[in-house]
A and B are shown apart, each in its own frame.
Chain A
């Protein structure tokens, strides 16, 4: 046997006195005599010291009898909501990959309310050690049934005994986790006889070592006694675990592949101010500006509408980007959500030299429609002196007193070879409509806008600029 086992006095993994514990008792833990938590705490405290993990260790106290574990361990501590320890651990570990974290959880905490958080953390392979204390009961809340309560066992909430038909079979957590790809180590041990405790000690240290070596997720399930709720003596509790629990929850290592796994290495966050700004500018697409602001005679309130998939939203985006590049204030607002899928889509674009009030456009002075239903829907809201531009491939000439422009956008796009650039054809037509009306060098501005809009798909830029130019040349005035 190794030397560490023959220790006298309290392990240095514990505080000398438990000052955090309220009340007069500062030397003892709050656990009942014979409680598995007390035994496991000792194993943990010793391991922290022996493995030199104390400085970087954060011990998560769950909701359950071990809620006050932070009274005892001389390492970082946090108490967390019921069942959420693995999620909190994930936050701790991702924010600070240097830390070591023990997620210490009961069967209610891990197997019931927190099962999803636990399984997901296991499946993500967090660099975490989970100590799962399976005492087949809710200890803290005085003896209700746990997911691991055995068939026939009477508890406060299974007073006639757990049945297969009402509650199903007890949950085999270790087996479930061993079936996942990500975890590196899964073992079930028992905190009963000296032999079993020795094996528990070894398993715990193995899990912690995996974490120290950044190998990922380890689960150790500890079959553990709750004499108080079993209403048995400590010895009788151990017997009960060995005779009743172990046959259903067999001990042993279910998975150990830490050696095959690479270290989990997380990159060091970048805070360099220039690099941060650069990353953001690159992603947003930084439009080049002249310093001059184009003066509009009045605010443009534009509605672009069509079928979802026709690109009316990006059409609106391109128009907004064009306005932006002329230093005009712009806003763009989509009709968002499921209606965009298959159904009609529309967006509102506002351009103004002043602060934009509402970005929602109801009354329009420019309406662009790419299908008949949106023509029917939005034409009544077009101002009498407004401009209407539509895709005449499929839409009937409307009756209106507004200025009307038509372009066979869909046909031209098909001729170019991609129906998806119909919106750029419309852009070209729109540029032609505005010629001499509002904007100087509209062409340059629009082409810049196309480049910006497609910055993440550069292979589409040339085609869309071609579509834009064709649209500009093909637009027809309908009834000026």
Chain B
């Protein structure tokens, strides 16, 4: 074990470690709990490596700074939560349409409205379904540990570049606030400036980036191209964790902090003799449809556990075309379901 590079880090801090290791050059953000440590860590570390940290005047400004920095061909990141993500949506729609890479961290807090700063997963729809205007989508990674906050942020940059699309790393407040030990990955070094960038060089002088297409057919073609890209992403990038699902009569589903609870719940209920397993989506878009469809053939039912009003469950039902019952257990307002709540619900379904 490489004990030298083990660090104790908050999930939020770990995203910035990941960003810097991935060669990210700019951070733009506006403070918001429970994501603020991301800005704090960026404010400390980006300048140490002569990279750009700038506290923007708003989330709207931050995402548009990301748009600019990304257009110049540099890796760039922003972070926010719930209501801040709402404000970014117009910019994200532009970024998606301009086919620019960008990484957005969302540490979801409880809503709606001002809500509170407790953990929730209620940004699911606005993050996974596009969120802004128009027919676009973003890749969404859902880490469940400090290590993954770092690793997935690095992965997010690679995916963003590969597909020229915005990528979210979306976690709940618990994953953002929690400290765990992580193994520091190796740095990636600087990424070459892509040829499409408006990089202020003679070679890039004739590059331009836009999202306005007056002709209806022209814009439809742009839309179709985007949908083809999303189809490609769905084909290649689905990620999930299946745990003890082989003979499971009930498959419980959850992401983020919920998946950690579900993992323990499966162990506990297995000891009691229940045939139960867990499916943890790691990519929320693309939704791990292949695995869900496979399990829908073998299991009797699903239980979706989420800290939102039944947003994740829609994707499960659509994916398996309601071929098996899908139960729902939710907590909201900043509450995290307890082990007892989850296991009791499972016992009830399996009774």
Residues of chain A touching chain B, judged by Cβ–Cβ distance below 8 Å, are 20, 22, 54-58, 61, 67-68, 70, 74-81, 84, 87-96, 98-100, 116-117, 120, 266-271, 273, 275-277, 279-281, 283-287, 289, 291, 317, 320-321, 324, 327, 329-334, 336-338, 355-360, 362, 452
Contacts and interface: CB of A to CB of B under 8 A. Distances in A.
11 contacts: A76-B207, A78-B198, A79-B209, A95-B73, A99-B72, A271-B190, A281-B5, A317-B179, A324-B6, A330-B8, A330-B180
A92 B61 contact: no
A267 B66 CA distance: 19
A359 B181 CA distance: 12
Interface of B: 1, 3-9, 13, 17, 20-21, 23, 25-26, 28, 33-34, 44-45, 48-52, 54, 56-58, 60-62, 64-74, 76, 90-91, 94, 98, 116-118, 173-174, 177-181, 184, 186-187, 189-190, 198-202, 204-212, 214-215, 218, 257, 260-261, 263-264, 267, 336, 338-339
- Nearest 5 pairs of A and B residues by beta carbon: A91-B68, A357-B264, A99-B200, A77-B208, A87-B64
B200 A70 contact: no
Nearest to B262: A357
Contacts of B48: 279, 283
A329 B181 contact: yes
Given A67-B212, A70-B210, A273-B187, A91 B28 contact: yes
Contacts of B1: 291, 327
B205 A76 contact: yes
B260 to A, nearest CB: 5
Contacts of A281: 5, 7, 184
B76 A91 contact: yes
Contacts of A89: 68
B26 A94 contact: yes
Contacts of A81: 64, 67, 90-91, 94
A286 B200 contact: no
B17 to A, nearest CB: 5
B215 A22 contact: yes
Contact of A336 (B13, B177, B186): B177
Given A89-B68, A358-B264, A84 B61 contact: yes
A269 B64 contact: no
Given A57-B200, A91-B76, A324-B181, A268 B57 contact: no
A75 B202 CA distance: 9
A81 B65 CA distance: 11
A392 B165 CA distance: 58
A321 B49 CA distance: 26
A202 B284 CA distance: 55
Contacts of A336: 33-34, 117, 173, 177
Given A100-B200, A275-B49, A358-B261, A88 B64 contact: yes
Contacts of B180: 329-332, 356, 359
Contacts of A120: 56-57, 61
Nearest to B7: A284
B86 to A, nearest CB: 15
A85 to B, nearest CB: 8
Contacts of A78: 68, 71, 98, 198, 208-210
A360 B200 contact: no
A55 B205 CA distance: 5
A80 B189 contact: no
Contacts of A100: 200
A358 B65 contact: no
B6 to A, nearest CB: 7
A74 B65 CA distance: 23
A381 to B, nearest CB: 11
B304 to A, nearest CB: 18
B193 to A, nearest CB: 9
Given A22-B218, A87-B60, A87-B61, A92 B68 contact: yes
Given A70-B208, A87-B68, A358-B264, 14 more contacts: A77-B210, A78-B209, A79-B211, A81-B90, A87-B56, A90-B61, A91-B64, A92-B72, A276-B20, A320-B8, A321-B8, A336-B173, A357-B267, A359-B260
A58 B186 CA distance: 35
B189 A331 contact: no
Contacts of B118: 337
B54 A94 contact: yes
Contacts of B204: 76
The interface centre, meaning the residue of B49, B68, B180 with most chain A CB atoms within 10 A of its CB, is B68
B76 to A, nearest CB: 7
B23 A271 contact: yes
A344 B249 CA distance: 43
A200 B227 CA distance: 46
Given A74-B206, A271-B190, A357 B261 contact: yes
Contacts of A75: 205
Given A55-B205, A95-B72, A358-B339, A276 B52 contact: no
A280 B17 contact: yes
A91 B187 contact: no
B74 A87 contact: no
A99 B201 CA distance: 8
A58 B90 CA distance: 22
Contacts of A355: 263
A437 to B, nearest CB: 22
The interface centre, meaning the residue of B173, B178, B212 with most chain A CB atoms within 10 A of its CB, is B178
Nearest to A280: B17
Contacts of B45: 279-280, 283
